[in-house]
Amino acid sequence: MKKLISMEQAANLIKDNDVVTVSSASGLGCPDAVLAAVGKRFQNESHPHDLTMIHPIAAGDMYGIKGIEHLARKGLIKTVIAGSYPSGPSSLPMPEIWRMIVDNEIAAYNVPSGVLFDLHTDAAAKRPGVITAVGLDTFADPERQGCAMNALAAENPIVKKIEFNNQQWLHYFSIIPNVAIIRATTADERGNLSYEHEGGLLGVMEQALAVRNNGGIVIAQVKRITRAGALNPHHVHISCNLVDFIVVDPEQMQTTKVQYDPAISGEIQQPDSVFDVAAWNMEKIIARRAALQLKKGMVANLGFGISANVPRILLEEGLNGQVTWVIEQGAVGGMPLLGFAFGCAANADAIVPASSQFTYFQGGGFDIALLSFLQIDKNGNVNVSKLPGKPYLTAGCGGFVDITTHAKRLVFSGFFKAGAKQSVETGQLIIHQEGKTRKFIDEVDHVTFSGKMALERGQDVIYITERCVMKLTSDGLMVTEIAPGINLESDILAQADFQLLVSPDLKVMDSAIFMENPMQLKLREFK
């Protein structure tokens, strides 16, 4: 088999100054063995050096699949353009790639994941970059940071605001990769690739096409080899004409902390009884209130964090299957998984390419998005992408900007303050000790969602916390509901850095949310 090579040979194919695109979503689909071989070669030879790395979704994690961390060596990388980066808790050391970004050793950009997939499509078709509304008035806008994560990146802008047809747009400049490192489950002797053990297809087709059409090389890491002609052509996702080299890693992880689970790849269907319901805590209270925004028959996008618990709320209420979940890695339907396996779903109806999923998101084809927040400001702006003190606590924007641009309804969930000690007693929310960190502040550190653009687009936006529910209005954020037991003045209004409006029709949140037993939730039909 002429295309089959060793990991060392694959690493030797990458030249100084190459532009390398990597397909991954944290641990999911990460070609970790190839990246490790590249890092090892650099350690031994100081080559390849000055690479530009493109990661539509983060390559690797902080829990055992190193991904881009293999390459975090001075001189190896010159530039990183990524939708997200490895992230984790403050209890873990800062990844070296983050230290290099913070210390301005490499130029680093955070570009919306869907836009990065679009850039690959346009590179394949030899078009001059992407023109889109995604990112207007967010950190991606050149009137803010223009996607730059540090001073070195700011010196070389990659996006420009333009006017076309009497409207403002962002033009993300063309990026031409000449090496693609992708992953699959099986390769036949000719180089056809199938994905039967994978939890997502991600954007491998767009990445392979971008490289192939611009004269580069495509390296595929797989779990196993089969004979030519053994793969059903309908099961081949990447055809042999797009693949130059194959490397085999029989021990490749399916996703973070998961060697192989056939439910993640849709090979088996699991009964509802195997899924845990959400534990009784403050996060569950917030997720329950978010669940009240749903209707039977809706298609709902789901983000990482507190919102990821909402499907488990419906499961506990006997409503599993009444809402179709769509997540950016490509799963449609089923039960989205939690923790390390987030981004995958068991019992999915379909696993579509992430690139197609993002087209669906960017055009607002779904009914509602359930997302999380780190900070919110007086203009309704939301930050999920950057915390200056410990930047690696967040992965960056990922698909958040793509998802929120044209979403019809948006629900942002999070704690009202960080670090507060609270409990529920006889259905009343009790604050024992106030949190030290305010999350409702005058100006967010990073604008990942623009309240101004949401108002211009007529989007329906609400913010849910354990203490209250707020709605975005043209006059500011308005408190529409408060939790039972909470004092409006001292527990809410006095704990925000800006003036919150109060609805003349202020309500108390449904008391069932604060009881440990199921809420007896019923979803109305969506029309």
How does pLDDT run across 388-445, given as a tens digit for each residue?
A: 878 888 899 999 999 999 999 999 999 999 999 999 998 999 999 999 999 999 999 9
**Strand partners for 228:** none
Q: Are residues 485 and 368 in the same domain?
A: yes
Beta-strand ranges (E) seen in 31-121 are 51-55, 77-82, 107-110
- Considering 179, 214, 248, which residue would you say is the last residue of a domain? 248
* 225 & 313 share domain: no
Number of independent structural domains in the chain: 2
pLDDT of 1: 74
Which residues are catalytic, by number?
A: 328
CA distance 164 to 403: 23
Three-state secondary structure call for residue 119? helix
- The answer as to whether 220 is a domain residue is yes
Q: For residue 340, is pLDDT > 80? A: no
Stretch 7-18: mean pLDDT: 98
Residue 33 belongs to what domain range? Answer: 7-248
Q: Reply yes or no on whether the pLDDT at 355 is more than 90.
A: yes
142 shares its domain with 193: yes
**What is the pLDDT, as a whole number, of residue 171?**
98
pLDDT band at 90 (very low <50, low <70, confident <90, very high): confident
Structural domain includes residue 263: no
On whether both 442 and 490 belong to a single domain, the answer is yes
pLDDT of residue 91: 86
In a domain, 386, yes or no: yes
Please state whether the predicted TM-score (pTM) of the whole model is above 0.85.
yes
Are both 244 and 290 inside the same structural domain? no
Distance, CA of 499 to CA of 480 (rounded, Å): 14
**Longest Cα separation, the chain:** 73
**How many alpha carbons lie under 13 Å from residue 342 in its C-beta half-sphere?**
13
One domain for residues 233 and 277: no
110 falls within a domain: yes
Same domain, 374 and 509: yes
> Does residue 522 lie in a domain region?
no
What DSSP line would sit under 445-502, residue for residue? SS-SB-HHHHHHHT-EEEEE-SSEEEEEETTEEEEEEE-TT--IIIIIGGGSSSPPEE
Whether residue 186 is predicted with pLDDT greater than 90 in this model: the reply is yes
The verdict on 418 and 451 lying in the same domain is yes
327: CATH: 3.40.1080.10
Of 219-228, 232-241, 332-341, the range with the lowest mean pLDDT is 332-341
Fill in the amino acid letter for 407: A
Whether residue 63 sits in one domain with residue 108: yes
In percent, how much of the chain has pLDDT > 90?
93
Q: Does residue 342 surpass a pLDDT of 90?
A: no
Query: Average model confidence (pLDDT) for the chain?
Result: 96
**Residue 258: both structure tokens together:** 């998961």
Instruction: Strand 167-172: give its sheet, edge to edge.
Output: 130-132, 167-172, 159-164
Q: pLDDT grade, residue 338 (50/70/90)?
A: confident
Whether 493 maps to a domain, the answer reads yes
Q: The tokens of 421 are what?
A: 């000690």
Residue 506 lies in a domain: yes
Model pLDDT, residue 341 = 80
Do 238 and 277 lie in one domain? The reply is: no
> What average pLDDT score do residues 211-228 get?
98
Q: Are 330 and 475 found together in one domain?
A: yes
In a domain, 256, yes or no: no
pLDDT by residue (tens digit) across 482-500? 999 999 999 999 999 999 9
Tens digit of pLDDT for each residue in 40-85?
999 999 999 999 999 999 999 999 899 999 999 999 999 999 999 9
Q: Which of 181, 216, 248 is where one domain is finished?
A: 248
Please say if the pLDDT value at position 373 is more than 90.
Answer: yes
Same-domain status, 298 and 238: no
Task: Report the DSSP beta bridge partners of residue 425.
Answer: 428
| Region 227-246 average pLDDT | 97
